[in-house]
């Protein structure tokens, strides 16, 4: 992911819409770190819900499904 972010930095993403999400079995800080990079380094217009991070045990639950749907809705509102 670090390599990808270095390459993405060259793409001039200033003002582009973005969001970061992930699922994890560990601490789960990666999604937030990527979100912060996109927001503060790339100066992207990020989804207002912050980074979506689902723990492995939540991914296949109704709570996980609802979180993903809410995140998708927040992204779609950015297109309006």
pTM of the shown model = 0.83
Nearest to 66 by CA among 47, 48, 50, 52: 52
CB-based contact 50:22 (threshold 8 Å): no
pLDDT per residue as tens, the chain (80 positions)? 889 888 988 999 999 999 999 887 777 788 899 999 999 999 999 999 999 988 888 888 999 999 999 999 999 999 87
Contacts with 59 (C-beta within 8 Å, 6 or more apart), sequence order: 23
């Amino acid at each position: 992911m670090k390599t990808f972010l270095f390459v993405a930095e060259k793409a001039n993403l200033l003002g582009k819409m973005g969001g970061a999400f992930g699922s994890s079995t560990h601490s789960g800080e990666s999604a937030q770190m990527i979100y912060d990079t996109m927001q503060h380094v790339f100066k992207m217009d990020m989804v207002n819900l912050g980074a979506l991070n689902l723990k492995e045990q939540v991914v296949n639950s109704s709570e996980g499904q609802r979180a993903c749907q809410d995140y998708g809705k927040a992204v779609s509102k950015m297109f309006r």
